[in-house]
Every structure is written in C-alpha cells, then in structure tokens.
Structure 1
Amino acid sequence: MMGRNLVARERTETINLEAFVPQDHLLRAIDRYLDLTAFRDHLKPFYSHMGRPSVDPELLIRMLIIGYCYGIRSERRLCEEVHLNLAYRWFCHLGVHDRVPDHSTFSKNRHGRFRDSDAFRELFESVLRRCMVEGMVGGEGFATDASVIKADAQRQRAVPGMERIDWGDPSRLARPVREYLAALEASVPTDPPKSISLTDPAASWTATAGPAFFAYSTNYLVDVKHGIIVDVEPSSSSHAAESRATRTMIDRTEQRLHIKPYRLIADTAYGSAAMLGWLVKDKGITPHVPVWDRSQRKDGTFIVGDFVWEPEADQYRCPGGKALRKEWRAFTHARVHVTKAGTVNYRSSGMDCAPCKLKPWCCPHTATRKIVRSIHEDARDVARRIMQTPEYAQSRRERKKVEMLFAHLKRILKLDRLRLRGPTGAHDEFLLAATAQNLRRMAKRLYVEGMVPTQPVA
C-alpha cells in the first residue's frame, strides 16, 4: 500500500537544537575547542559604554568561522545559510526564531572595530594557544612556504608600471588605493612593476602558471608535529618578499608566543645567502633548506667546488695550486672589499694564469679567474652539510604538510581568489582561513577521533 505524508506546512514545531545536531558534527567538535572569552576582552575598549547594544561580535566571528570552514565565500549567502541551517544556528547560539544579522554588518565591523583592534590576529592566536594547550604544537621544527592567491583585480583595469597615474581627489580614493599610496610614501624607491591595477594597486603582477594576473602571496609557518599553522603573513608575490615575510613570522612567533624552532624547513626559494646567514648567525636556527647556488657552469670549465677554500689565509687555491686573493697589493687605507650584493671577489694573478696549462678549462675567455664568495658563505656551508644527513631527508618529507594545507585552502575552503582588496583585506582573509584550518585540524584530531582533552584552557 502506498503511504502518503501530508503535514501542514504552517504547523508549529518545537525543536531542540541540542538534540538535533549530531554528536559527530564538525561544528560540535569545533565548538568544544573554540573559546572567545579573550577575543571579547580584546574588543571591549573599542566599544562605547553608552548607547544601544551592538550586534554581538562573537556572533559575527562564529558566522565567519562557518563561512571559512565550509567554503561559503559570499557573506550574503552566509547569512542565508545560517538562517536556514539548524546546525549553523546551534553553533552561533541562535534560536529558531532569532534574527540573523544583515550581511552589511560584516563590512561595517571589518572596516571599523575589527581592523582597528587587529581582532583577527587576536582570534588566530587564541586558537593557536588552545592548540598548544592540547599538545598539538611541538615547537621543534617549523616549515615555511608561500602560495599565490588571485586578487580581486581584473587584467583589463591595469596600466603599465612606467605610466604616470592620476589618482584623482585624495578624499574620494578607495581604501586599497589609499593604503597603496601610504605604503609608497613610506618605502624606499624601487623599480616600478610591469603593471599596476587601478582597483588594487598593491597586488603583484605575476605569472606562476598560464596568463599573468594580479595576486598576493599567503605565507605559512607550520609546526610539523601535527601540521598546525603557527603564523601567517600576506606579501607580494616575489621570492624576496616571501623571505621577508618568513623572517617577520619567526620573529613574531618568538616575541608573542615564546616559541623558536630548532630547525626550519623550506624550499630553494628560501636558500639565499642572506636568508641562510640570518637563520644561522642571528637566530641560531638549523636551516634544512637547499642552497640557492648559481655558481654552476655549463661550458665545461671548473666550478667553484673545484677550488679549495683556505680560511686561515683568506684565499682560494685553484686546481693548478695557485692562489686567488681579494687583494694582491697593500693599500694605504684598508679596504673592506664587500660589494653592495654582500659578496667578496677573489681573483687569480695574471702571471699565474698566462702560462698555466689548465687555463682552457678554467678561464678561457678572460685573463684571470674570479670567484665570488658571499659574506654568508659559512652559513651556506652549514646548509650544504645538513643536506647530506638523514634528518634532512626526513625534513623533505615533512615539508609536504605545508603543501597539503595550501591544497586544502584552495580546494576545500575555496580561497583561490580574494574577495577583499588591499593588503589589509588580504591580511584579514588569510588570518581567518588559517584560523579555520587550525580549528578543523584540532577538532578532527582530538574530538572526532575520540581524544578527550585533559588540560584546561589557558
């Protein structure tokens, strides 16, 4: 017999949200480890003690966490989803009949109190501290890398970097343009980029794969024990900017969280002489980083490795047994011999090279041989020795945890293109995404797998 279910749609139902949300639901797991007490205390000075009560900032943050955890990129759609989804209402502490905030409330708070107080940084670090309490941050090894995220800027709204741009009335400029001009005034003059976006001038013109586009880079510093993100920093899409971002993250983690790793894992982009020198000499961190070496030759002549370095004499010894020195005569005033690039040039003597039988394999097109040695060459030697160890091979495998986080960021969280413009917009989106990733990792690792926390929240 065919059954039939005709229930009056206007019938009033009594729903217990606590019983409605399954025990293994992701949001129930996240709610167990999300404590916004410190976040509220951080925001208190930015609210007046008079007037009507505002929309609860905790409600806005919980809604944003839902959006980033489930890849809901539009705030208008996020409000619709929270209105319809009972599990979302439970997580936001909303009853069935409670009103969901309007989507415009997010923009007003983001450009106001949240940005003035750096609230998203406080939120990220509060979640990170909870990860530390639960024992998910080892602090022994960190891995770093960057991923390119498309900016909200069209190719058609671009002008050549050499072209003079009339930005118009300063009082009517958009926020991303104001941020760009303020940063331009405070920075040291450099060569102009190839293209500049009129809507988001701070975005970098890059071509990682396929046609060029405007983008920012999100830089992660990840603890390799459980893949927890310990810091995140936006930057332009260049190797130099990404290396500077890594320095900023390591310094900030040490200052704010009192954590400094024993080893840093990274790819060749971070293997410059200046970066390795900073890690070894300034920070005392073991670099598990491939050395960025351009000394290899393709013409069959001797490479730098064929020359023997003699530190006591401060000179090289060529395969023919002759010396290469940074100076061949005494000067009245001592010279440093360090170039602007942070290198020292060592040259052979013309009297030694002219009769040498090895000259066709050493310097066939020049009178003498020159070797460029970095002032951080000792740090590069440390990195080269580490590359031969089993620990380095293990670090190569652990670096994949950063790549997995970037894949998760773009495929699951849907953050392959920014919705907010300017450096502050990138800053907010990257921090919220990293917060959501840490919450998901902690919730699935500890709650869903049946691990019960034994320590109270700090």
Structure 2
Amino acid sequence: MLNDTPPSQATMEFVTIDELVPQDHLLRKIDKTIDFSFIHELVKDLYCADNGRPALDPTMLFKLLFIGYLYGIRSERQLIREVQVNVAYRWFLRLGLTDKVPDASTLSQNRRRRFNESDVYQQIFDEIVCQAMRKKLVSGKVLYTDSTHLKANANKGKWVKARAEASCRDYLGELDKAVEEDRLKHGKKPLPPRSKKPETREIKQSTTDPDSGYMVRDGKPKGFFYLDHRTVDDRCNIITDVHVTSGNVHDSIPYLNRLDRQRQRFGFEVSAVGLDAGYFTAGITKGLEDRDIYGVISYRRPTHRKGYFYKREYRYDANTDSYRCPQGQTLIYATTDRNGYRHYHSDSKQCRHCPQRECCTRNVNAKKTVTRHVWEGSKERANSHRLTEGGRLIYARRKETVERSFADAKQLHGYRYARFRGQEKVAAQCLMTAAAQNMKKIALLCA
C-alpha cells in the first residue's frame, strides 16, 4: 500500500549531536588522532591580550579552514553554508545544533588581516608533520620530490612584457669555486667576479596576478601558473615539505635548499631520494653526493639534430682529459666558462677534409666543440644508480608516493586552481591542503 509523506516535520526529538555523527566518520578519526591545542599558543602573539572585542576562537577558525580543504570546498561562503546544515561539521567545531555559525566575513578578514603576513601556515604544517613523526609514520630516510602546477587566478591573455630578476641557483657559490679551481688546474686565468647587479630577463607578467609565472613546458598547458614543489616521505606518504614558486621557475632551482630545510627542521637522516628527469642537473647530483645521499633520477634523452652524431659517440678519456670523435680525432681542452662547462675543440685542419664532417659540424671554421661540465662525473654516477636493482625499486615508488599525493590533492581537495592571488596567499592554500592530506592520512592509519 502506498503511503504519503507527512507535509511537515514538527515532531520534537531529544537527541545529542554526538549521536548524529557516525562512529566511522572521517572527522571523528581526525579529532581522535590530531591534537589541535597547539594552535592557540601558536597565534597568541597575533591577538591583543587586553583590548578590543572578543575574538573568534583561533582553533575553531583553523578547523573551519581545514574542513574546507578536506572536502574541497573552494568558497568560504559556501563553507559556512555547509557548516550550518552539516551535523558532523558542527560536532567537529564543538558547535551545538542551535549555536550560531561564524560569518564568512569573519573568517576571511581574520585570514587576510591577521594571518597572511605571518608564517603561521608553515608552522601549522610543520607541527602536523611532527605529530606524524611521533606516531612513527615518517622515517625521513627516503624522500620523493616533484612539482605540479596550479592554474593562477589570472587571464592568460592579459599580460605585459617586463624585466624580472633571473632565478638564482642555490649552488652558484660552489660552482664559481669549482670553475676557478678548474681553470687554475688547466693554466687559465681566473674569471672576473660575477657582477653584483642581479641578472634580469624579459618575461610575460600577468596584469591580474603579477606573482604568477607564464609556464611553457612540453605536454603542459600554456598560461599563468604557480608551481608547488612537494616532498613526500616513503614510509606512509606523509608530505614533509611544500614550497610555492611562480610557474616559470625550473624544478631544480629550489631543490637543495628545501632538502636542507627538512633535514634541519625535522632532523631527517636522508639516505636516498627519488626524482624525475627535471632534477637531473650537475648541480643537483653534486649536491646530493656532498650530502652523502643516494640519488635516483630519471633520464631524459637530450635533444638531437637529425643527421648529426650523438654526443655519446664522442668518447671522453679522463687520463688525457680529452675527447675522441667517431673518426678518431682528438678534441683537446680549450677553456672553462662561467657556467662550469669545459670546452674541447678539434683541429680544424683535420676536420676540413674529414669525410664525416657534415655529420659532425657545419662550423664555418671547420671546428667541432664538445662541452663537459666540471661536475659531469657526479651526473654519470647518479645516472648509474637508476640502473641498479635498488635504484629501480626506489624509483618505482615515485608513482605511489608523490605522484599519488598530487593526484589526491587535485581530485579530492580542489588543488587544480589557485583560490587566491599572490604568491603568499597561494602558498597558504598549498600548505593548508598538504596539512589536511596529512591529517587525513594520520587519521586513517591510526584511528
């Protein structure tokens, strides 16, 4: 028999909010495993102690933000509307069924005026990592690093040409020292010191969000983006570092500084790292060797002009510090440039009549030049790591760690787009998203 639903729901029921939240709800597990008491002490200095109107509880404020990042709610106004009707959200925030929910403007103004100029987001992220370490979910032995792009809140058609300071690699001082030693070893005069005036380059600068960068990469969309350089620990996929740059910064530039930051902040004793081909540079491989870290880095085939010899066909002889071309001619050392590359030149008299000249060089002076970095030995040793059994096992874990972390962030936590404009605000979004992912991982593993 078909029954009609009563037109109104006026029945009074005596329930507690705790009864309405399922025992296996994610927020129950997070509340059980994550200690949020540190937030109050962390932000105490950002509030006036004895003046002004009573403030919204900062712990509740950040738990509100975490709900938004956990469930991919991009709008703060929508977040408040969801809290009004979601019993689990109210329970997590310690609000009763009839308690008033904070206004969206209170949430946004606190974020903009009180927290955006501080490092509170970084400190919260670090504390969540420390809590994971205390639960033995982080080893700090094997780390995986990669970057992903977030589409900036900017129209890719609105830009101007501008001069920007060129990105500075964090190992330039060591490179200059190595170049000077190499030139002296070969009887060359030292190069003059680098200009103290920073190098600049012409870029496309967004008129909507000047902090974003115009990204041009193979297989990636073109436009204004930010890059999140993220590191994930091998044991339980806990994110241990988040660093945001504009979209036109190469992955390798901030890597060593961020690696050192993790070792100092968390006391990691890193034994190995897994990286993709974007990090396969002489500076990175030398830096890993100096830190006694086993680097497993993917290989990318270099660009090659059809009809020419491959560079690998020119054999290097370490004993004589020279190259030998496919036709047997010796290329001798000529100089070492500021970027750390040794130049080896052939004898133009022999090249001019060589039958394979068209496959080797079309230089008007009939001279072939081959370059070799002063730290090329480090690259060769790092390249051999990926061919070992241990190296294959380490690299195979990349897709299960950092790549999966990015996939979850984009699929479940609204990570495809930057919610805000400006690098500091986007960095806050990235840190809060990563902290939410870590909280979720801790809760699911420990609750």
1:325 offset after TM fit, Å?
A: 2.0
User: Which residue number in structure 1 is paired with residue 64 of structure 2?
Assistant: 63
What SS does the aligned partner of 1:244 have? coil
TM-score, normalization by structure 2: 0.84
1:78–1:160 CA distance, 2 compared to 1 (3 A): same
User: Which residue number in structure 1 is paired with residue 202 of structure 2?
Assistant: 192
1:321–1:213 CA distance, 2 compared to 1 (3 A): closer
Contact 1:291 1:383 in 2 (8 A): no
- Supply the distance in 1 between the matched residues of 2:85 and 2:206 (Cα, whole angstroms): 38
Deviates more, 1:129-138 or 1:12-21: 12-21
- What do residues 47-79 of structure 1 show as CA deviations (whole Å, max 9, x unaligned)? 211133210010011111111111111100111
Contact 2:214 2:248 in 1 (8 A): no
- Supply the distance in 2 between the matched residues of 1:399 and 1:211 (Cα, whole angstroms): 23
Contact 2:77 2:104 in 1 (8 A): yes
What SS does the aligned partner of 1:161 have? strand
- What do residues 168-215 of structure 1 show as CA deviations (whole Å, max 9, x unaligned)? xxxxxxxxxxxxxxxxxx99352221x322221111123556863321
User: Which residue number in structure 1 is paired with residue 42 of structure 2?
Assistant: 42
Alignment of 1:56-455 (within 5 A): 56-156=57-157, 158-162=158-162, 188-193=198-203, 195-206=204-215, 212-238=222-248, 240=250, 242-281=251-290, 283-291=291-299, 294=302, 296=304, 298-301=306-309, 303-327=310-334, 337-351=335-349, 353=351, 362-363=360-361, 367-400=366-399, 401-447=401-447
Contact 2:76 2:108 in 1 (8 A): no
Counterpart amino acid of 1:75?
Answer: E
What SS does the aligned partner of 2:67 have? helix
Contact 1:268 1:290 in 2 (8 A): yes
Contact 2:343 2:369 in 1 (8 A): yes
User: Which residue number in structure 2 is paired with residue 23 of structure 1?
Assistant: 23
Compute the RMSD of aligned alpha carbons.
Answer: 2.7
1:324 offset after TM fit, Å?
A: 2.3
Contact 1:221 1:246 in 2 (8 A): no
1:134 offset after TM fit, Å?
A: 1.7
- Supply the distance in 2 between the matched residues of 1:239 and 1:201 (Cα, whole angstroms): 14
Counterpart amino acid of 2:87?
Answer: L
- Supply the distance in 2 between the matched residues of 1:384 and 1:298 (Cα, whole angstroms): 25
What SS does the aligned partner of 2:116 have? helix
Contact 1:344 1:375 in 2 (8 A): yes
1:409 offset after TM fit, Å?
A: 1.2
- What do residues 278-301 of structure 1 show as CA deviations (whole Å, max 9, x unaligned)? 2223x3322211345637553242
1:357 offset after TM fit, Å?
A: 6.4
- Supply the distance in 1 between the matched residues of 2:209 and 2:324 (Cα, whole angstroms): 53
1:369 offset after TM fit, Å?
A: 2.8
1:151–1:446 CA distance, 2 compared to 1 (3 A): same
Aligned residues: 412
Identical positions, percent: 30
Counterpart amino acid of 1:265?
Answer: G
Counterpart amino acid of 1:80?
Answer: R
Counterpart amino acid of 2:129?
Answer: L
Runs of at least 5 residues in structure 2 that lack an aligned partner in the other structure:
164-195
Deviates more, 1:243-252 or 1:360-369: 360-369
Counterpart amino acid of 1:245?
Answer: P
TM-score, normalization by structure 1: 0.82
1:260–1:421 CA distance, 2 compared to 1 (3 A): farther
Contact 1:291 1:380 in 2 (8 A): no
What SS does the aligned partner of 1:97 have? coil
